[in-house]
Amino acid sequence: MTQTWVVDSNCFIHLGSMAPDTFVKDLAKILNKSNQMLYVTPGVHDEIRNVRFQKWSKRPNVLDEFKSLLTTVAIDDGQIKGLGQLIGEKASPQDVDLSLMVLASQLHRDGREVILVTDDFKMTTSGEKANLGYTTCPPSTFIQRLSSQSPSKKKGRMKSLSRRVRAAEMRYAISRVHQYDIQAKLTWMVDSLIEDRPQSERPISEDVAESNLKRALQRTLAGEQIKGNDMKRLGALPEICQPILSLDAHLSRLTSTNTSEQLRDAYDETLLLLSEVLEAIGLNLAPLDESAAELANSALSGYLYRTETALGLMAKMSGKRETARLHLSRALQSATLIDDSFAEMHAVYQLGLLAIASEKWERSARLFETADQQARLIFAPRLPYLVCAGISRHLLGEMDEAEQHIQDAQILVSADKNQAALQLMDLGEALLAIDQPGLALEVLDESMECALQIDSQEKLEILSEYILMANAAMTQTDMLQHEGLRTLLDGLNQLNSEEAEEFAKKIKAIEQRVDEHNQPFEETWKNWQPSSKLIPEAATLRVVRSEVDENQDTLVVVHHSELGSIGLWLPEGEWNVSSGHLLSFANTRVKLAQPTVELQEKHSIRGIVAVEDSTQLTFTAPSEDLIIENEG
């Protein structure tokens, strides 16, 4: 179906500020060729009447240049007021915006595919509330989607314009972070980016002069010598942007293993430093013209991508998934500005894992499919993305799509069993860390099949422990929710009869250990005993999950390869504990009791442990690379 665009005033204002003098002609050819139309209301004419193209010779009026491409439809005042009342006075957008929403809804009812172009997120949420039927996207995505329909010669400059507009949208959204919660808006912006993502390699921008100047700024920040002429054109920008270097210096000092308290401190320090750096650069950029600010923000995007990704991973490792999602959404936005497919792929993958953790299967499917598209562009490993996309589509009930993803993944597994075993093992561990043991178990089974076929005893031993842990972490909900997934993932790999027999023996041995670990401890004690009586001093236990009850006490379920799973009651307080953390005991005393039937059934724990001195417990965050290299 041909798309119909309803365009708000802010989009024209962005174009007036940034569009090159070729834009309107390029746009006209795209619209004519594809039979698409741009709609506005008279209120838009009023709001942009004095807006001019800043980068054009003689700075012509935007409305005059666009008039031949616009279809203007007047909306009755009664309809505008009626929509405002439906939405509610406090939540309602301005009258001009309401008129555009009414127009978009009318066009939708006429059977058209209508997209309302706006960077005002209220127009999206209000339209959904009133069930108006249209979809929305920000101006940067509008330009990006049109660029995909443009001839190759013109595609580069439209892509470049899209990135500049996106940078402006991000700056504005982040500037309002203290006034309202921007997570939902960032999610919407990210979703608009991953929807209908082109799969062909991106063309090189034709704006060579701008690209060269950006690279010159990046080189001088890296300490390289640049041409005197470039240095003169950059003016004060190298000095203004200098504070950004402290971010990479700080990230290089982060370690991939921290106690939960150290991780929290590292997150706070990184966030504070980022705020100080952005404030220092922003204050000095403010007096400069917009082109200088655009150049600086584009050149600095790589630093911001790495920092936001590190913040996102630290938040994820601490179990703060919504905070992680906010940082990783920002990281993805920054990655699109540096046109770095590796960076985009990494950020989208992490967002996909968070979507799986929240059991938002439709979102996770689209995120992993986008990560797979990026991986194909740069010839990166695709197996984890295809498997996750297949799982997500299966849980949505979209069986054909799910099977296609697994068929594609099967080709990769057959080509390299060693890499498949490693990548599937890493994915299984990642799923355990986000408290999805049911999904982890199915993936780890496939990894074990590959490890058996290549006779890797080291991998088989590690996988046996992971599978044991996944079984211990399984709940009844996991077993019911993921029914049928085994049949789907069986398509990843094929075993001959001898291999199948050997695999069955290994699984049976693990199941025997699972049965043993499901039995409550026979010996318990009510008096304080040295912790070493229960847990060897050098032992490390892995956190399966943590829950806070109505009394604000925390139950932490931990797993040990010999002991099985036990529950620790921690007193009221803020415990920065998450699935995947490692627990070690120091010198303290414990009491041990049998679990209640409810706790035993829910968590498969063998006993409940009370700790005399909880300060002697050390929770360590799992190893995860916080330093994201710039691949661009």
Reply yes or no on whether the pLDDT at 197 is more than 60.
Answer: no
Is residue 438 one of the residues assigned to a domain?
A: no
> Can you tell me the distance from the alpha carbon of 415 to that of 289, in angstroms, rounded to the nearest whole number?
54
Q: Does the residue 118 lie in any domain?
A: yes
**CATH number, position 540:** 2.40.50.550
148 and 57 within one domain: yes
Q: Is the pLDDT of residue 254 over 80?
A: no
Give me the torsion for CA of 392, 395, 397, 398, rounded to 10°. 10
Band the pLDDT of 399: cuts 50, 70, 90: very high
pLDDT 10s digits, 454-477: 999 999 999 998 998 888 777 666
- β-strands 540-548, 554-560: how paired? antiparallel
Average pLDDT of the residues in 375-395: 91
pLDDT above 70: residue 622: no
Evaluate whether residue 136 is within a structural domain: yes
The CATH number of whichever domain residue 63 belongs to comes to 3.40.50.1010
Contact 445, 464 (CB under 8 A): no
At which of 313, 339, 365 does a domain end?
A: 339
User: What would the DSSP string read from start to end of 105-119?
Assistant: HHHHHTT-EEEEE-S
For 132, the domain range is 3-194
Among 25-29, 42-46, 253-257, 346-350, whose mean pLDDT is lowest? 253-257
Interaxial angle between packed helices 383-395 and 437-453, expressed in degrees from 0 to 180 and rounded to the nearest 10: 140
Q: Which of 339, 355, 382 is the last residue of a domain?
A: 339
Indicate if 248 and 157 belong to the same structural domain. no
Tell which residue, 296, 298, 269, has the closest CA to residue 284: 296
Same domain for 231 and 179, yes or no, is no
Does residue 226 share a domain with residue 167?
no
Same domain, 174 and 311: no
CA distances from 433 to 168, 357, 622 (A): 36, 9, 9
Among 295-304, 392-401, 459-468, whose mean pLDDT is lowest? 295-304
Instruction: Kindly state whether residues 552 and 591 are assigned to the same domain.
Output: yes
Under the banding of pLDDT at 50, 70 and 90, the label for residue 207 is very low
Whether 219 and 286 share a structural domain: yes
Between strands 608-611 and 564-570, the pairing is parallel
With 80 as the cut, is the pLDDT of residue 290 above it?
A: no
C-beta separation of 499 from 557 below 8 A:
no
Of 361, 292, 371, 359, nearest in space to 332 by CA: 371
Rounded to the nearest 5°, which phi and psi values hold at 151?
Answer: -60, 155
User: How do residues 147-190 score in pLDDT, each as one tens digit?
Assistant: 888 766 677 788 888 888 887 787 777 666 555 556 677 777 77
H/E stretch holding 321: helix 321-338
Higher pLDDT, 459 or 602: 459
621 Cβ neighbours under 8 A, 6+ residues apart = 257, 258, 259, 260, 263, 317, 318, 578, 580, 581
pTM of the model: 0.64
Residues 159 and 224 in one domain: no
Report yes or no on 313 lying in a domain: yes
The domain total for the chain is 3
Distances in Å between the Cα of 375 and the Cα atoms of 124, 195, 305, 490 are: 31, 16, 18, 24
Residues 410/493, Cβ–Cβ less than 8 Å: yes
Asked, for residue 488, whether it belongs to a domain, the answer is no
379 within some domain: no
176-200 in b/e form (b: 16+ CB < 10 A) is eeeeeebeebbbbbbebbbeebeee
- Distance, in Å, from the CA atom of 7 to the CA atom of 166, rounded to the nearest integer, reads 16
Answer yes or no: do 183 and 236 share one domain: no
Query: Higher model confidence: residue 534 or residue 362?
Result: 362
Asked if residue 601 has pLDDT above 80, the reply is no
Same domain, 34 and 170: yes
Q: Which of 339, 365, 390 is the last residue of a domain?
A: 339
Residue 138, domain member (yes or no): yes
For residues 15 and 150, membership in a common domain is answered with yes
Let me know whether 50 and 93 are in one domain: yes
Mean pLDDT of all residues in the chain?
Answer: 83
For residue 52, the 8-state DSSP code is B
3-state helix, strand, coil in the chain (%, to 5): 60, 10, 25
Q: Considering the domain boundaries, does residue 476 fall inside one? A: no
CA–CA distance from 459 to each of 406, 466, 506, 560 (Å)?
A: 23, 10, 13, 18
90 vs 588, residue with greater confidence: 588
